[in-house]
Chains A and B, each alone.
Chain A
Amino acid sequence: MNKFWTIVGHTYLSRVKSKSFIITTAITLAIIIGFANISSIIDMFSGDEESDQVLVIDESGIYGDYLQGEGISEGAGIAFENFEGTEEEAKDAVSAEEYDGLLVIAADENNLPEGDYYANRISETGEQVEIEQILQQLKVVVGTQEAGIDQQTLDMIYAPVSLQTEQLDDSARTAEEMNQSRGLVYVMLFVLYMTVLLYGQMIATDVATEKSSRVMELLISSAPPMMHMFGKIVGIALLGLTQMIILLGGGYFAIQANQDSAAGEFFEVMGIMDNDPVIYIYAIVFFLLGYFLYATLAAMLGSLVSRIEDVNQLIMPMTMLIVIAFVIAMTGLGMPESTLITVTSYIPFFTPMIMFLRIGMLNIPFWEIGLSIGIMIVTIALFAALAARVYKGGVLMYGKSGSLKDFKRAINLSKKE
């Protein structure tokens, strides 16, 4: 057992101390902190912006006062100023950038307002959108007053309609509950996806490196290949854990520091605050199962390669599997009850993502969860046994490689004859 921890420690330490690990972690952390502070950063750059100054020429003589008054242009960030002069003079003032724009209002044949807006630059999302809204409101106010409807009646008409929803099937999750767990499912899907891609690749590369530098023969003459393989898998797992803790911890503190702005909202949207604690346990269980299945696969594939350049080619099938699982899971977020999702949740390579999605989004009976966990454990055991065979032969195999035919060669090499 001592040797096992020596291997784990070596795998972990040599990676943690490496420049590439420190740099990637630092960059990712910087990006996370940047995201958490994105609103302050945007504020910092746009903080000095004042409300737009818009000149108004009111040809009808009635609307100008409405614009000045409260209620209509309130909160729009546009200050209107009546202009006493010709349109040409006003346009010159705008061209000289003394004002941001010029609004000319006139009454149409129905005695309702219509306008022309002049500015130096008209952009899609600029102030003309707001001005259009203000004119629309103005039109409603003027129109209703013309028609003799008072403000109270108007408010009643515009009040939102009420629609109460109630589910008759008790086993289904309420929309609220679904929203809560959707955030967690999202996080889990992303974390598992990234983990398998990143750390799976790392394991395969590590094995291939030891093989190509030929130090492998020494290693497996000191400790059994199986111990070596699992030492590596656990070592990389600890490395991943370290990175996660740094990133999640950094992200958490960054959000905490911004509590007033984004934090509360963020947690609410993700629904991470008030989930059933059981779902966190499932998250950990399925994450570990997923990691070990894919890590075993990665170690096995890595052992077949003699040159580091061939690693990517050989772990391609594994990458495809996790991508497919991810795509199915993403589709499943919208329709967790479809047959596709139910069936794929029992296929071992997809289970960690898709069964967890079902647990999060639906109320499924415990035996289904138990069954899928059972299938996962059996599959991992089978793969570990197979991987140990392939690994034992694979690490002694040199020469041209990069195809799955090498599986057979590796297994033959580890056989008695």
Chain B
Amino acid sequence: MLKLSNVTKRFGNHTAVNNLSLEIPEREMFGFLGGNGAGKTTTFRMILGLLDKTSGDITWDGGPISYNESHLIGYLPEERGLYPKLTVKEQIIYLGRLRGMKKQEVLKKLDEWLERFKVPEYLDKKVQELSKGNQQKIQFISAVIHEPKLLILDEPFSGLDPVNVEMLKNAVKDLKNQGTSIVFSSHQMEHVEEMCQHICILQKGTPVVHGSLREIKHSFGKKNLDIRGDFSTEFLKNYQGVASYKELPDGCALQIEDEQIAQDIFSELQGKGFVRKFEIEEPSLNDIFIEKVGASYE
């Protein structure tokens, strides 16, 4: 289990991460979100020991994380990087050995992974000859080849086509089911929604939302209301309890304060005309993110 307690990082006068506390158990995928420059990468670097924390504690299974534990940790950095002039085989062997593996083990695992990603012919290709998406797969392999107990994925799916996203997603899910704790950072909310049970949203280094995804959605209060019909919905724009209004060709999408408002609107619509659709939806993570992070931009 990875545990961060009251972790703070200051660069001079600038506070990059402020009093962050997290717990990530085994077999758990944790969504770590935040706007650009919110302190996600800084947090990862502190977990990995690349940066010293100003205060607080980071522990893995109760003990501090040092380079002696580096074989337990896998890291996929946001900025992708491999040796462009080395072959896939050479790089993975080097990176695998730095994580404490033997050459033979690396080769065996590498074959399995290349097979799984349907690119076994890349074994002896130079990285610079591969397309960006395929380099990404190799980068992913380098992060998981040593079967880490803690895996940090910083934007793992950016720049991939849908087929490859699916392939990598399944690989990540398998790792999770095998018992790996995964910290997952992404700007694509639908991926986080699909894969994570718990999330944390950072805003300028401070956690603004933290907890289980279901509870966060529930306690968010606001709901989405989708109305389609053969009548004008203009009057809902300034309706009491409507937080936001978005005009659609055949209706509107609303954000409402709570479910009671929906009932009021429903009765209001009586006699206006034919209602094709009237649906209350849970708020999406996207809505929550924009609300929480966007609010403090104003």
A residues lining the B interface (CB < 8 Å): 2-3, 6-7, 10, 14, 210, 213-224, 392, 396, 412-417
Contacts and interface: CB of A to CB of B under 8 A. Distances in A.
Nearest to A209: B83
A215 B81 contact: yes
B82 A396 contact: no
Contacts of B84: 213
Given A14-B86, A412-B12, A417-B10, A221 B50 contact: yes
B81 A214 contact: yes
B50 A214 contact: no
B38 interface: no
A3 B83 CA distance: 18
B68 to A, nearest CB: 10
Contacts of A413: 11, 51
Given A213-B81, A214-B79, 6 more contacts: A14-B83, A215-B81, A217-B79, A223-B98, A392-B50, A412-B12
Helix, strand, loop or mixed for chain A's interface? helix
Contact of B52 (A10, A14, A414): A414
Contacts of A224: 67
Nearest to B82: A215
Contacts, number: 73
A415 B51 CA distance: 8
Contacts of A3: 97-98, 100
B87 to A, nearest CB: 11
A221 B71 CA distance: 10
Contact of B54 (A216, A221, A414, A417): A417
Interface residues of B, number: 33
B95 interface: yes
A215 B76 CA distance: 11
A222 B74 CA distance: 9
Interface of B: 9-12, 45, 48-54, 67, 70, 73, 75, 77, 79-84, 86, 90-91, 94-95, 97-100, 142
Nearest to A211: B81
Contact of A214 (B10, B49, B51, B77): B77
Nearest to A227: B67
A36 to B, nearest CB: 35
A401 B48 CA distance: 25
A50 B94 CA distance: 65
A417 B12 contact: yes
B143 to A, nearest CB: 8
B52 A221 contact: no
Contacts of B9: 417
A416 B55 CA distance: 8
A2 B103 CA distance: 13
A396 B77 CA distance: 12
B127 to A, nearest CB: 9
Contact of B98 (A6, A213, A415, A417): A6
Contacts of A415: 52
Contacts of A223: 67, 70, 98
B98 A7 contact: yes
A208 to B, nearest CB: 13
A26 B48 CA distance: 44
The 8 A-B pairs of least Cβ separation, nearest first, read A214-B81, A222-B98, A215-B81, A417-B54, A417-B10, A221-B48, A214-B79, A416-B52
B52 to A, nearest CB: 5
B146 to A, nearest CB: 9
A216 B45 CA distance: 13
Contacts of A217: 50, 75, 77, 79, 81
Nearest to A5: B97
Contact of B95 (A2, A14, A222, A396): A222
A217 B41 CA distance: 11
Nearest to B81: A214
B202 to A, nearest CB: 19
Given A3-B98, A6-B97, A222-B98, A216 B81 contact: yes
28 contacts: A3-B100, A6-B97, A6-B98, A10-B94, A210-B83, A213-B83, A214-B79, A215-B82, A215-B83, A215-B91, A216-B81, A217-B50, A217-B77, A217-B79, A218-B142, A222-B95, A222-B99, A223-B70, A224-B67, A392-B50, A396-B50, A413-B51, A414-B52, A415-B52, A416-B52, A416-B53, A416-B54, A417-B10
B75 A218 contact: yes
B190 to A, nearest CB: 27
Contacts of B86: 14
Nearest to B143: A218
A20 to B, nearest CB: 11
Contacts of A392: 50
Contact of B94 (A6, A220, A396): A6
A3 B146 CA distance: 15
A415 B9 CA distance: 10
Contacts of B77: 214, 217-218
A195 B77 CA distance: 36
A320 to B, nearest CB: 31
A306 to B, nearest CB: 11
A6 B12 CA distance: 36
Which of B49, B67, B81: most chain A CB closer than 10 A?
B81
